Amino acid sequence: MTTTSKSSRLDPEPMPRRDFLGLAAMWAMGASAAFALLGILRLPRAAVLPAPSKKFKVALPESLADGEPFVPPGRSVALFKDKDGVYAVSTICTHLGCIVKQSADGFACPCHGSEFHKDGTVKKGPAPTALPWLAVTKDGGSFVVDESKVVDPGTRLT
């Protein structure tokens, strides 16, 4: 196809007006449908997460030996006490969210066999990362663990 230099128009084959209007109408329709769809998809994405508070108060038993995990009933957190202080390790498996159980020298996950050392680092299995350490603060004679606040491993409350 060669464009003729005679024509001063930019488009050598002008589109009939009716085609143009029809196409414009179709694109407008498509664009508004897409826009509406985005709005529709915005709804199921919750902005406020209706979850119970992740903070809880716990007292350590007197008899707890250094380096022994203590799991408060109904919680998925293990608390430890040693000469450097108190710390909390989450017991929610970083693989797919099962609750790990205490094993001889750390934790073991019942779901796909991940194993962790006592400090939460991965020993074996599919878990991609270490069990996170959680923030512990003191409140009178007991401790407050905030499950939603992850701290660097090694952080202890002295």
Partner 1 sequence: MSDASGATSGVTAMGRFLANLREIPKTFRESLVRGGAPTTDRTRSSFVFGNVFLHLHAVRTHRWSLRWSTTAGLGIMSVAAFLITLITGVLLMFYYKPYPDAAYVSIKDLHFVVPTGRFIRNIHRWAANVMVVAVLLHMARVFFTGAYRKPREFNWLVGMGLLAITLGLSFTGYLLPWDQLAYWAITIGANIAQSPREVTDALKITEYFDPGGLQRLLLLGSSDVGEEALIRFFLLHVMILPLALVALLGVHMWRVRKDGGIARPDDADARLGPPPADTYPVFTEAPQKTYQIAAIVKGKTPAVGKGPENTVPSMPHLFYAEMGVFMLTVLICTALALVSDAPLKELANPNVPENPAKAPWYFLGLQELVAYSAFMGGIGIPSIVLLGLGLIPYLDREKEGTGLWFGGPGGVPLVLLSTVYGFGTAFALEAFAIRFGWIREWWPDVPQLVITAINPGTVLTALYAGFSIWAVKRWGSTRAGALALFTCFLCGFILLTVVGQHFRGPNWVFYWSPSEWPGH
Q: Does residue 49 touch partner 1 according to CB under 8 A?
A: yes
Q: Which helix (H) or strand (E) holds 33?
A: helix 17-42
Least CB distance to partner 1 at residue 142 (A): 21
> Which of the residues 3 through 42 are near partner 1 (CB under 8 A)?
none
Q: Does residue 132 touch ligand FES according to CB under 6 A?
A: no
Residue 129 interacts with which of partner 1, ligand FES, none, CB < 5 to 8 Å by class: partner 1
* 144: CB partners within 8 A, 6+ apart: 55, 56, 57, 58, 136, 137, 138
CA 145 to chain centre: 19
Pull the structure tokens for residue 47: 């902005």
Residue showing tokens 């196409």? 23
Site string for ligand FES, 90-129 (x = CB under 6 A): ---x-xxxx----------x-xxxx----------xxx--
Residue 76 interacts with which of partner 1, ligand FES, none, CB < 5 to 8 Å by class: partner 1
* 121: CB partners within 8 A, 6+ apart: 130, 131, 153
Least CB distance to ligand FES at residue 133 (A): 18
